[in-house]
Amino acid sequence: MSYFTPLFLATLFFSTALFSSQYPYRKYEHVKKFYSEICLDAIEIGIKHQIPPAAIMAIAGLESGYGRGYVSQITGNILSLGAFSGDKELPSLYLPYSKLSKTIVYDKKIIKNHSENDLLWKKRAKSLKRDYRPYPYAGTAKKLELLKYDKKLKQKAYRECLNDFASRWIVRKSKVKVFRDARVWLNKKVLNNGISILFDPAVNEKFIDIIGGHPHSFNYRKAWPKKAKYIMKKTGLVELTTDIFNEKNDFNKVWSNK
């Protein structure tokens, strides 16, 4: 015997279909988990440094595979930021690829429990990406699984990475012209329209277009801006950050509202 009336089931189906059609990426738990970990920091840092928060989140999702790429899992570098002089870089690593899970395995516990026949070992080239693990592990092949088991350290690494992007990359003194251009453009936008302009969909999209998709930019591939903007749209990141900033609402509540 069903305890649900036809009207209730129809309403539930309509709500689910509406949710999926508006922001279909929100149905994925790994997407929700990743954005729940960086959303508030992205908004705070975006406001402080006058960079569109939704765009930052979209880029982080694209660059890190929503935090599931092995480099981002090890280093916390969710934006694939190259190391500056003096920064610690992730070194060359000898790691196995699991044929079963189709992932690079870096966790010693998981490697130990794997069948040897499932693992294909290979030397991975030096990543040239900044390693946000704390001393004495940053820049070494030790404790690669550190951030996986320490949520506080992972959160700190994520925040440092987001802050670096805003305070070291998108700046007037950058050696990269498109970053300087983006900084000047954003400053004018905020000066003329106020901080709320950072939550405008068009501004978020144009920021992505300015910094990527052409030579000597954040990512030279022409498809890169399209992918970042697609993630932003399908996840409803502009709407998410706007609602949280304006209404001071809880992430989970806003995420499930749309």
pLDDT for the residue numbered 1: 38
* Residue pLDDT, tens place only, 172-223: 999 999 999 999 999 999 999 999 999 999 999 999 999 999 999 999 999 9
pLDDT for the residue numbered 258: 61
Q: Closest by alpha carbon to 182, among 163, 161, 215, 205? A: 205
Largest CA distance in the chain: 69
Confirm if 172 and 22 have CB atoms less than 8 A apart.
Answer: no
pLDDT for the residue numbered 13: 41
Among the four given CATH numbers 3.40.50.300, 1.10.530.10, 3.40.1280.10, 3.20.20.70, the one describing domain 25-82+145-257? 1.10.530.10
CA distance 237 to 53: 8
pLDDT for the residue numbered 11: 41
User: Domain segments of the chain: what residues?
Assistant: 25-82+145-257
pTM score: 0.90
For the chain, the C-alpha Rg in angstroms (whole number) is 20
E strand spans, 43-132 = 93-98, 103-104, 119-124
Q: What is the mean pLDDT of each run of 10 residues along the chain (258 residues)?
A: 39 44 93 98 98 98 97 98 96 94 93 91 93 98 97 98 98 97 98 98 98 96 98 98 89 86
Q: CA triplet 181, 184, 186: central angle to 5 degrees?
A: 105
121 DSSP β-pair partners: 96
Residue type, 59: I
pLDDT for the residue numbered 7: 44
pLDDT for the residue numbered 8: 37
- Reduced to 3 states, what is the DSSP secondary structure of residue 124? strand
